[in-house]
Amino acid sequence: MFFGLFRRSANRVVIERLYTVLVAASRQPALFTGLGMADTFEGRFESLTLHAALVLRALNALPAPGPDLAQDLVDAIFRHFDHTLREMGVGDTAVPKRMKTLAGAFLGRSAAYDEALREGPEHLAPALSRNILHAAKDDSGAANAALIALTAYAGAVAAGLKNLSVQNFIDGAVPFPDPATFMPKELAS
């Protein structure tokens, strides 16, 4: 029993480190200034969900303990969602309903991104447009440029994560490209 507690404690450290890397990647300023994500609670949720979906996809494709790490990471993400809602002043009776809504959105988007990437990176743009950019409501050149840039960024993240080992995730050595390098030229100045 003692060794089981020690293992869970060590795993908690790994998951918190991985969660910290994930949050840092999802909050890079260029995502909000040039790749079309809104700098709001909803926009930050969408950014975290996209980055988490890509990391979870990579972890689930790895041999053990990759899938176990993926599940532990999902659990950590939802613990942080719960904590954030409570910090925002959402009452105890409303938290479960909000968590159910967040879980549905998180899982639905994760499945959509995974399916799109299985079909090919070019299939990612519609899912990103629908979930993050809402480009269907905005056909402007800037919205289309942001969609192209965000799709290229997400494709690069997925490709980079695909080459990592379980040990990279355990060590927190999960490199994310700089989204600023994907910014449309008209927004990069």
pLDDT at 1 exceeding the cut of 60: no
Confidence of residue 182 (pLDDT cuts 50, 70, 90): very high
Query: Can you give the pLDDT at residue 6?
Result: 37
Residue type present at position 131: N
Query: Can you give the pLDDT at residue 4?
Result: 43
When pLDDT is averaged across residues 69-75 and rounded to a whole number, the result is 95
pLDDT at 9 exceeding the cut of 60: no
pLDDT above 70 covers what percent of the chain?
89
**pLDDT tens track for 27-52:** 999 999 989 899 998 999 999 999 99
Confidence of residue 8 (pLDDT cuts 50, 70, 90): low
**pLDDT tens track for 107-161:** 999 999 999 999 987 799 999 999 887 643 555 677 888 999 999 999 999 999 9
**What is the DSSP code string of 64-118?**
TTHHHHHHHHHHHHHHHHHHHHHHTT--TTTHHHHHHHHHHHHHHHHHHHHHHHH
